[in-house]
Amino acid sequence: SPFVDQENLLLCPPEDPDSLAKAIASLMDNPTLCQRLRAGALKLAAEYFSWDKAVEHTLAALSQ
């Protein structure tokens, strides 16, 4: 999976507001983590969610 905890996102268990609050606080308290996640998320978006990729996935789905 292209989604990697602590690299391009912070994973939190579903329906766990305490975990979500802790993750948000970690971003506020750790600028290095925030910058790493920002860079990782931008890279992920460019590689997997560009218009070129959307067209590629759409054409692949239509050809099946």
pLDDT digits (tens, 9 = 90+) for 4-21: 999 999 999 999 999 999
Residue 3 lies in a domain: no
Is residue 12 a contact partner of residue 23, using CB atoms and an 8 Å limit? Answer: yes
CA 35 to centroid of chain Cα atoms: 13
CB neighbours of 13 closer than 8 A, spacing ≥ 6? 19
* Mean pLDDT rounded to a whole number for the chain: 95
| Domain of 54, in residue numbers | 17-62
Residue 42 lies in a domain: yes
Residue 1 lies in a domain: no
Is residue 52 a contact partner of residue 58, using CB atoms and an 8 Å limit? Answer: no
Q: Is 90 exceeded by the pLDDT of residue 37?
A: yes
Q: How confident is the model at residue 60 (pLDDT cuts 50, 70, 90)?
A: very high
Structural domains counted in the chain: 1
